[in-house]
Amino acid sequence: MGEHQFSDLMADRLHEECGVVGISSPSDDVAQMVFFGLFALQHRGQEAAGIAVSDGVQARIHKDDGLVSHVFNASTLAPLRGPHGIGHTRYSTTGGSGSRNAQPFLVETVHGPLAVAHNGNLVNAHELRAELLARGFGLTASSDTEVMTLMLASAGGQTWEDRLARTLSSWTGAYSLVILVEDRVIAVRDPWGFRPLSVGRLPDGGYAVASETCALSTLGCKEMSEVAPGEIITLRGTEMSRRQALVPAVKAARCTFEFVYFSRPDSQWDGLSVHGVRQRMGEQLARESAVEADVVVPVPDSSIPAAVGYSRQSGIPYNDGLIKNRYIGRTFIEPTTLMRERGVAMKFNALAENLTGRRVILIDDSLVRGTTAGPLVQLLREAGATEVHLRITSPPIKHPCHFGVDMGHDDDLIAARLNLEELCKVVKADSLAFLSLDGMMSAVGRQDGYCNACFTGEYPVPVQAPRRKDSFEQVLA
């Protein structure tokens, strides 16, 4: 969407920072494979996309603002020839929107080309950036990924893997990286395991690494496994090597919101089916907050599995009540005042035939700023629903994320300001209930190893006072 269009509507969804793909293959058509991998990860970021490819000597890159299918076509992919490539699709967390922050970042070094694409967020990026400036480095962007790229480019060591291993201990926070050098692709994951990253074997004998297993499946990968926290993986054609560079954190901190909202339902996260966990969340929500009703309706698409689970556990029939316009992602046409006021109606239409005269349980995955829930409840009432009971398949979000999820700060989060009764009045539902933290983790089937800081305020690593995601923009306006 344009910078200000429908801002309330789009801001009320959580946004992942990005998706990354890296491929090394016997084939020179790697750019096309990276494109399809990014296409499968489009849900992780819609602001910008980029692909960098190396032919063993020279690296080339193409990146721009927009969706993957807008940035790339046959003519932009044609020059990207080579057997090694990485790609990125972006939603910004550190560093504002804009083409200069599009990834991968590609630089020339004394050791050859270096390109880096990053999913996550460093909590010490400001300190690291200040150190680089004090050392005389010039910075062209406002992203923590550029900081990581320049630190790696200037590190000592015989190989890129050695330089990476020596640099990792300086980075605090979330990072799943894919790195392109002249003759291989390198991937690494932070020792807490915040953001997902998996590797698989391609049908041609090469290897691919990606943020989600759904992208690896799209590429036909077999023998898939997670990149372990603190592990460096090197892909060179039909060869793969693994190196444990950092000791994994004593307490892992996988992001629970991969299950709640971010990941595609056909992905695996921590060895678990995302779709299966979402269904169990719905079942648990029905146990915790049952209410008499006639129909269970999801907010599509991420809440569909949970609504199926809620229906199955409660015995209340499931049906569609909202139809989503899946192509609203970006528009630069300024809407009229009337259409801006109908922002939710731009994204959803109600199915009156399934709602009229019925008591409705509306299932959604999260409540962030609260600007979408109220209009959705009203949309159902206008379509004939006699009651609307809102059920959320995660606990109340009360604290900001510092590890790669743009959910705003405390003042932006409605559950940080209002209690349950007040929230229910704001969204004008007949009742409102959230899934408990214990209930969510029982649905996951794990009690430890996850980051739930946005619910509890208990961060797995020390964090400073929250900064705006565009706080590096002071000079580079």
**Poorest-confidence range of 11-20, 270-279, 418-427, 428-437?**
11-20
Q: What is the mean pLDDT of residues 293-318?
A: 97
In this prediction, residue 59 carries a pLDDT of 97
Active site residue 451: no
The domain limits of the chain are: 7-253, 271-456
In this prediction, residue 36 carries a pLDDT of 98
Considering only CA atoms, give the Rg of the chain. Answer: 22
In this prediction, residue 13 carries a pLDDT of 57
pLDDT higher than 50, residue 177: yes
In this prediction, residue 412 carries a pLDDT of 79
Instruction: Give residue 14's pLDDT band: very low, low, confident or very high (50, 70, 90).
Output: low
- Of the candidates 61, 178, 176, 59, the one whose C-alpha atom is nearest the C-alpha of residue 117 is 178
Instruction: Give residue 2's pLDDT band: very low, low, confident or very high (50, 70, 90).
Output: very low
Q: Give kind and range of the element (H or E) at residue 322.
A: strand 322-324
In this prediction, residue 372 carries a pLDDT of 87
- Of the candidates 62, 61, 172, 141, the one whose C-alpha atom is nearest the C-alpha of residue 108 is 61
Q: Looking at the DSSP assignment, which residues form a beta bridge with residue 237?
A: none
pLDDT higher than 60, residue 225: yes
Q: Which residue has the higher pLDDT, 369 or 81?
A: 81
Class of domain 7-253: alpha beta
Number of CB atoms found within 10 A of residue 111's CB: 15
In this prediction, residue 120 carries a pLDDT of 92
pLDDT higher than 60, residue 1: no
Mean pLDDT value across the chain: 90
**Catalytic: which of 18, 221, 451, 454?**
18
Contact 316, 295 (CB under 8 A): yes
pLDDT in tens, 262-289: 999 999 999 999 999 999 999 999 999 9
Q: What is the mean pLDDT of residues 94-114?
A: 81
pLDDT higher than 70, residue 99: no
pLDDT higher than 90, residue 157: yes
pLDDT higher than 50, residue 10: no
In this prediction, residue 477 carries a pLDDT of 46
- Of the candidates 189, 57, 52, 56, the one whose C-alpha atom is nearest the C-alpha of residue 118 is 189
Q: Beta strand pairing status for 84-90 and 48-54?
A: antiparallel
Tokens linked to 358? 């019925």
pLDDT higher than 60, residue 310: yes
pLDDT higher than 60, residue 92: no
CA distances 348 to 67, 191, 301, 385, Å, are: 21, 40, 11, 16
In this prediction, residue 100 carries a pLDDT of 72
Domain 271-456 has CATH 3.30.1440.10: no
% of the chain residues with pLDDT over 90? 78
Q: Which residue has the tokens 């309706």?
A: 297
pLDDT higher than 60, residue 245: yes
Instruction: Give residue 152's pLDDT band: very low, low, confident or very high (50, 70, 90).
Output: very high
pLDDT in tens, 31-73: 999 999 999 999 998 889 999 999 999 999 999 999 999 999 9
